[in-house]
Amino acid sequence: MKYKGGCHCGKIAFEVEGEIERAMACNCSICSRKGALMWFIPREKLNLLTPESDLATYTFNKHAIRHRFCPTCGIHPFAEGKGPDGNAMAAINLRCVEGIDPDLLPVQHFDGRSL
């Protein structure tokens, strides 16, 4: 299935393809503050509809994950990094995807604080 999403002001827009089976809630310092519910997909399944130059990036700790956000409204619609297998992945913030209710999805809890 193909979904559309983006930030609050519309400066960042994207399409993403896949089946949303569950969300992941991480308790690390950034995810817990953002309140994000993440869906992990191969990076090639994420298609930006706006220029890459419209995105701002934040990294911390090991600088392995690029947390992408809108410099205008501050919303964090996705992050990019490498999966455990070394392949490029995207972590989509399901709260930024149109037409779904993330509260209806099963949530897997991840202890990112322990990393």
Predicted local distance difference test score (pLDDT) of residue 92:
97
Q: What is the pTM of this model?
A: 0.93
Which pLDDT tens digit goes with each residue over 44-76? 999 999 999 999 999 988 888 999 999 999 999
pLDDT confidence bin for 30, thresholds 50/70/90: confident
Question: In CATH, what number does 2-114 get?
Answer: 2.170.150.70
Task: Return the number of other C-beta atoms located less than 10 Å from residue 88's C-beta.
Answer: 12
Predicted local distance difference test score (pLDDT) of residue 115:
76
Which pLDDT tens digit goes with each residue over 70-109? 999 999 999 999 988 999 999 999 999 999 998 899 999 9
Which is more confident, 9 or 64?
Answer: 9
- Domain residue limits, the chain: 2-114
Please tell me the chain's helix, strand, coil percentages from 3-state DSSP, rounded to the nearest 5: 20, 40, 45
Ramachandran class of 109: left when φ > 0, alpha when ψ lies in -120 to 50, beta otherwise: beta
